[in-house]
Amino acid sequence: MIRNGCLLLGCLLLFSCKDEVIDNPPVYDPSPYSLEWGDFPAPDLPADNALTVEKVKLGKMLFHDKTLSRDLSQSCADCHIQGDGFSDIRQFSIGVDQMPGRRNAMALFNLAWHKNGFFWDGRSPTLRHQALQPIQDPLEMHETLPNVVAKLSAIEAYRDQFIRAFGDEEVTTDRIALAIEQFEITMVSNNSKYDRFLRGEEVLTEAEERGRQLYFAEFDPRGIEKGAECFHCHGGFNFTNDLLMNNGLDEESNFTDLGLFEVTNNSGDRAKFKVPSLRNIAVTPPYMHDGRFATLREVLEHYDHGVKYSSTVDILMQYNLDPGLGLSNEDLDDLEAFLHTLTDDAFLENEVFASPF
């Protein structure tokens, strides 16, 4: 017997099961998933959630399924769109009640290497914890976890997949979180033009090379050498230090979002936010936690001469304060050209991460 085009009740669309043969009932399959990371350092994967092919498949189904929302209108993928680096190019995502979110939706990739919490304020210690938050957030999917469990339990395709992934058909919030965590861990982006340049497979243009040199150069207070200081916060293989920092967006009197302070209640954490990776940055506008900058040029101009002083602004911003770095328009053009080399088209177009529905 062939099952084809099974109806997912919550999705209100046809789920093509790829002509899956079901003469035999689904059985538990612990086959390991082979995660490839190329030249990146080996990630510290969760020891209690070993990657398997079937759990990753389940996580992919859940990530793309609108059943997880209250009115069956939104999935995780609706606010994390693959072609946009699994981000949302709207300033704020709109939830099921047509209410805007508080912060710009962060891009999703290379999450296996992230440290110091998830979300802009670092409030989720693990991916599995993070995965359940948008489901319950009134500004996002606005659903309850018991309702999600009940809806998924009523769908045969999910009961079968939970058997393959976990050994029985029981749907639980913990299993949902573990499966989504596995799928998100597989989102590895490591094949940009810059990666190919490092491997000796491609050559940068003159502008891109000048931008690269500026990006990795220190600011010279003597004014002899040009340097953009970018690498201090956006360095390493993933172009982030994974810290939460105040990058001088506002003066103290204008703090409208206290960031990490809302988690720690430590006054020294006011207006500190997660430093995002700059990989795929050219396709993930708008920028900053509140999406205030529409273009990369605005971001570069902020760091050149727009940083505001406050008691919690990071010391690394000392040279970005007035009068700033003194970069020319050509310097900014070259930096922008270099940032475009961080776009990984293969990742953005990889069918492995696309919807299975």
Q: What is the mean pLDDT of residues 173-197?
A: 98
pLDDT for 224 equals 87
In angstroms, the CA 274 to CA 116 distance is 9
- Cα–Cα–Cα angle for 122, 123, 126, rounded to 5 degrees: 85
Q: At what angle do helices 53-63 and 156-166 cross, to 10 degrees?
A: 150
Q: What is the pTM of this model?
A: 0.92
* For residues 287-313, average pLDDT: 98
Q: Which of 240, 337, 236, 237 is nearest to 296 (CA)?
A: 337
User: d(Cα 331, Cα 323) in Å, to the nearest integer?
Assistant: 16
pLDDT higher than 50, residue 21: no
d(CA 120, CA 244): 8
Asked whether the predicted pLDDT for residue 15 surpasses 70, the reply is no
As a whole number of angstroms, the distance between CA 180 and CA 153 comes to 17
pLDDT band at 23 (very low <50, low <70, confident <90, very high): low
Q: Which residue has the higher pLDDT, 17 or 203?
A: 203
- Counting Cα atoms < 13 Å in the Cβ hemisphere of 284 gives 28
**Domains of the chain (ranges, CATH numbers):** 2-189 (1.10.760.10), 193-341 (1.10.760.10)
Q: What is the mean pLDDT of residues 22-33?
A: 88
Q: Which residues of 159-193 are buried (b: 16+ CB within 10 A; e: fewer)?
A: bbbbbbbbeeeebebebbbbbbbbbbbbbbbbbbb
Closest by CA to 184, choosing from 110, 288, 121, 258, is: 110
Q: What is the mean pLDDT of the chain?
A: 94
Residue 83 pLDDT > 90, yes or no?
A: yes
Distances in Å between the alpha carbon of 134 and those of 77, 120, 127? 12, 13, 12
Note the pLDDT tens digit of each residue in 226-284.
999 999 999 999 999 999 999 999 999 999 999 999 999 999 999 999 999 999 999 99
Q: Hey, how many other C-beta atoms are within 10 angstroms of the C-beta on 221? A: 8
The mean-pLDDT minimum among 6-20, 33-47, 198-212, 334-348 falls in 6-20
Please give the share of the chain, as a percent, with pLDDT higher than 90.
92
- Name residue 293's beta-bridge partners: 287
Q: What's the confidence (pLDDT) of residue 57?
A: 98
20 has which bridge partners?
Answer: 3
Tokens found for residue 313:
């602004």
- Average of pLDDT values for 147-155? 98
